[in-house]
Structure 1
């Protein structure tokens, strides 16, 4: 992910709240000093509503085109010149112009508001007797002709599906594109968070149904109404880390995105997988394949793979944040580091209960915005993306102790750990780890067969090669995804990342314990200014 400078955002929010706009000279001054981040999506959700007037922040974007911003950052030494990145950004910049003031209302309401239906269901004579209409037409030399149907709307703009190896800059380019789109109806979200929201909306749709009466059967499809809700809220969706590992997601994606695409929603996504490898060897993958074809029809596929993981280059460490249990006194060092950071809080250590969708998740040791957890607490229990999102909202620093060597027999825990790190990385949560093995050796593709897998294979009636291919049992998807986790954890140990995660002066945190300002610096290090890096 790309990093941004926060003072500009606070300045612009202040101007928008007071409704007092800065002068053009002040805008130019801000442009020289800061990098602009994307702005919140359109909040209008009424069917057929048009996109709102652009905010001052959106108008400011027009002064900083993506390619120019990229070249400026390269010139200032904040980015390294990468020909592939620049080529991709040029293609994205063309779509920025297309999406300026774009609105998908014509796809939501294709008929004109005052247009009469052509299905014969209403009286075509404005309440008069149809027989009278026929009598009047009998002697008419030029009978009244039915108006021709209006032409269909043009196809909506195509989106982009950008894939490539880890750390090559996919997210950074998508964020530059998103920031430069002069349109208020846009939304940028991590794909895990998006799917979590989809499942919540589907649940709410089902809850709103009338109770089924005895002996009365009916079927109801909640996916299309949910897709229409989203189409009414936004016309541009940008996804980070598009991936499909769950059969529940795979089942609903085709119908969900078919409605989104047909109602004019433009999708821009990043992924480590090419489209044809999505949900590779997944359970019932044949039913998922039509979604891949549809995705390639509505999104231009771009490969960004320069062979360089920029997260691993020129990174200044923030101090020792990854400890091995085999190191002498490693656990004691972690305890001391927690005590040092806890002293800067306005709270005392103790347990904390988080409420997630009506469930309670208890963490045994926390202090203000710091959590002191074990691997078993976070990944040994049946927790998911929703639980981790709530932790990311409440805590800015999380200690994770006693991480074991992750083998095939622990692939459920490995899946949760990957989701946990994706969520923490996306929300700039800082982590201190105590693990049984070095980071690049933490996940191994071995460890024997899980008896639960064997039982499930027997229940599904799968034998031999058919069962061996399924990633549900081989952990192939986890092995692939863990490479991204390793790359991200490398970056999460840098000074720049630690600085970005400092929420001591942030006003975006709500319902969290107050912390002392300017006291969340990494131990034994000097703070660095946040900036873009090629590999985010």
Structure 2
């Protein structure tokens, strides 16, 4: 199911999922699914007998992992399907060929049509064998019905009752004090003192300097300036129900890595219903500044590949098309995350648990 941001793709998929009575089903964000697949592959590789010196043999763990998944589920629902990692693209091509052949039904949402994903990989001009698979793996088109859900309306942008003020502008008098006061108010509901928190993620530690129970008070640089990824943000989403993000700068193409981390972070927090309070350099609709052109790393890569400006303009790698598309989704989701209905979801969940 593909279409513009906020058109109801995830809602429709979730509605379908909730009405499927078969217990062998799984609804998961794409990033979570890929982390699970990598863990399964790693576990199978670790279980192999140690190789003797000089002895070489090949082992393909992907098909056994696909068979393992197909025995657990018959329905797999993805939110925000996207492939931007070479290793993931190679794994997915083989994994899904096996899943489809064993009868697993897959439902996925994406902002991009599969045809668009493939056409945006005019990257075949690079003549790398893996490149066409970087954006899209072919079995999706072969085995799936492609449905467009695009009314042209972002329903998240419709007026909704706002929660308490959750989006502040850097430099506005009293903004920091208001955020400090909100943090203190929420901290009073916690049973622990304010201090650093160390999160173990895949054998390493990620430290957040200011936390209190299920609340984290972070800076943009702390979350997106470091080499963190989906696994780190998933761990945060499982640990915290409210995250403050301070000092978000204007997000320009010279900050591509930080922009990509921020979009991943928002996707995961939104999917996990984490509440956010933001302090940013500009209003939400003006936060992502796209001025066109390539940054210095892009120009260097163009020179290394021997590509002309005309050829580069056909490649989304150099046009920032993917970043712009992803950030439209980020803005739409952040608007909904400021609504009273979104903010109160955690309160209702907490009351149910009590």
**What residue in structure 2 maps to residue 253 of structure 1?**
92
Root-mean-square deviation over aligned CA pairs: 2.0
Does residue 422 of the first structure (1) align with residue 242 of the second (2)?
no
Tell whether the 8 Å contact from 1:191 to 1:242 is kept in structure 2 after alignment: yes
| Cα distance change on mapping 1:290 and 1:238 into 2, 3 Å | closer
Of the candidates 181, 188, 194, which is equivalent to residue 33 of structure 2? Answer: 194
Question: Is residue 49 of structure 2 the alignment partner of residue 203 of structure 1?
Answer: no
1:171 aligned onto 2:10: yes
Deviation, 1:219, is 1.8
Residue 351 of structure 2 aligns with which residue?
A: 505
Is 1:361 aligned to 2:206, yes or no?
yes
Q: Deviations over 1:250-275 (max 9, x none)?
A: 22221111000001111111111111
Which residue in 2 is equivalent to 1:229?
68
Q: What do the CA deviations read for 1:14-71 (whole angstroms, capped 9, x no partner)? A: xxxxxxxxxxxxxxxxxxxxxxxxxxxxxxxxxxxxxxxxxxxxxxxxxxxxxxxxxx
Q: Which residue of 1 aligns with 2:236?
A: 391
Distance in structure 1 (CA, Å) of the matches to 2:140 and 2:5: 22
d(CA) in 2 for partners of 1:393, 1:252: 26
Please give the alpha-carbon distance, in whole angstroms, between the structure 1 residues aligned to 2:206 and 2:240. Answer: 14
Q: What SS class does the counterpart of residue 505 from structure 1 fall into? A: helix
Change beyond 3 A, Cα 1:285–1:373? same
Give the structure-2-normalised TM-score: 0.91
Do the aligned partners of residues 230 and 335 (structure 1) sit closer, same or farther apart at CA in structure 2, a change above 3 Å counting? same
Segments of 5+ residues of structure 2 without an aligned counterpart are: none
Counterparts in 2 of 1:472 and 1:205: CA distance versus 1, 3 Å: farther
Q: State the match for 2:215 in structure 1.
A: 370
Rounded to whole Å, the distance in 2 between the matches of 1:402 and 1:182 is 46
Distance 1:464 1:312, change over 3 A: closer
* Counterpart contact for 1:350–1:365, Cα < 8 Å: yes
Q: TM-score, normalising length from structure 1? A: 0.61
Question: Do 2:114 and 2:136's aligned partners in 1 also have CA atoms closer than 8 Å?
Answer: no
**What is the SS of the residue equivalent to 1:491?**
helix
Looking at structure 2, the residues matched to 189 and 389 of structure 1 have their Cα atoms a distance apart, in angstroms, of 12
Contact persistence 2:83–2:134 (CA under 8 A): no
**How far does residue 435 in structure 1 lie from its aligned partner after superposition?**
0.3
Larger radius of gyration: 1
Q: 2:6, 2:332 within 8 Å by CA — same for their partners in 1?
A: yes
Higher helix share: 2
C-alpha distance in 2, partners of 1:506/1:405?
A: 39
Give the match's secondary structure for 1:291: coil
Unaligned runs of 5+ in 1: 1-161, 508-516, 518-536
Q: Take 1:337 and 1:200, find their aligned partners in 2: how far apart are those partners? A: 38
Structure 1 residues 359 and 263, CA gap change in structure 2 (3 angstroms): same
Select 1:291's aligned residue among 137, 151, 154.
137
Q: Deviations over 1:61-90 (max 9, x none)?
A: xxxxxxxxxxxxxxxxxxxxxxxxxxxxxx
1:386 to 1:304, Cα distance in 2 relative to 1, 3 A: same
In the alignment, which of 289, 292, 296 is matched to residue 451 of structure 1? Answer: 296
